[in-house]
Structure 1
Amino acid sequence: MSTVIEQPVEARLVAAAPRMPSIPATLRYDRRDPFAVRMAFPAPATLEGVEACWTFSRELLAAGLLGPEGHGDVRVRPYGYGRTVLEFHAPEGTAVVHVHSQTVRRFLAATDELVPAGLEHLQLDLDHDLAELMRDIC
């Protein structure tokens, strides 16, 4: 069984520079980092002209389908019928994108099959991680 789920999404760029009506993006989930979701944007959609990747919690993405969530760099909320808004805040500015909510739901359902919500902690190997930290200290 694969440990990674990738879902292409069409993101409609609402506020950012350079302005683009829609851009391809990718949602990514890796069971080795079971609490996190990554959303990657291609280089042409960023101010620096390099691919940008945002990491935020799977729980934030799921909760944002139902109502406004997030107070930091990433915020998620429903928008009208069938859309979800993701806001990405950085020192350089804010990017606001709309994505199809159904695409996000499909992605979350696939992640839930891989690692059920609420059971993420079972994927962690704390003994191994602690040993790695201790090895790096010596």
Structure 2
Amino acid sequence: MTSEHTEQLISLYNGSIPVRSRWTYRTAEPFTIAAAFQTDNDSWVEWVFARDLLLAGLSSAAGEGDVRFRPGSDASDRVLYVEIESPDGHAMLVMSHADVADFAAVTAAMVPVGEEGDFFDVDALIAEITNV
């Protein structure tokens, strides 16, 4: 049995433009989180990254690749800076730290941190890779 949790979160691009995002966690893929961001033309761009990266980024700067997190604060609240980068461009999003932390807490309730291997089906992965 697998389960999925998806949250709709609003972020700000360069502190001014609201961006809808959809964050998804699946017990069948316990090591990863998918975050999709809505673009101007109503399509979505999805990024998949390690759950450990998000958890680390909630307390200190984390990430050296295409996805980076850094906690901070603005005039009124704690925020989480999310940087995403690709050959097509770069974006800095500012999100509510509490909202992202709540999402992370739900993922930990679904699959406790450190127990991801108990939920990961390595046989299914091998079958997928060998049946290409």
**Aligned residues with identical type, % of pairs:** 29
Q: Where do 5+ consecutive residues of structure 1 fail to align? A: none
Equivalent residue in structure 2 for 1:99, among 67, 87, 95: 95
Partner of 2:43: 50
2-side partners of 1:22 and 1:128: how far apart? 39
Partner of 1:12: 12
Number of residue pairs aligned between Structure 1 and Structure 2: 129
Which portions of structure 1, spanning 4 or more consecutive aligned residues, are displaced by more than 4 angstroms? none
Partner of 1:71: 64
Query: Normalising by the residue count of structure 1, what TM-score does the alignment of the two structures yield?
Result: 0.84
2-side partners of 1:3 and 1:68: how far apart? 30
Matches within 5 A, 1:23-38: 23-38=19-34
Partner of 1:83: 79
Partner-residue secondary structure (3-state), 2:40:
helix
TM-fit CA distance, 1:127: 2.7
Partner-residue secondary structure (3-state), 1:33:
coil
Q: Where do 5+ consecutive residues of structure 2 fail to align? A: none
Partner of 1:127: 123
Work out which of the two has the higher radius of gyration on C-alpha atoms and give 1 or 2.
Answer: 1
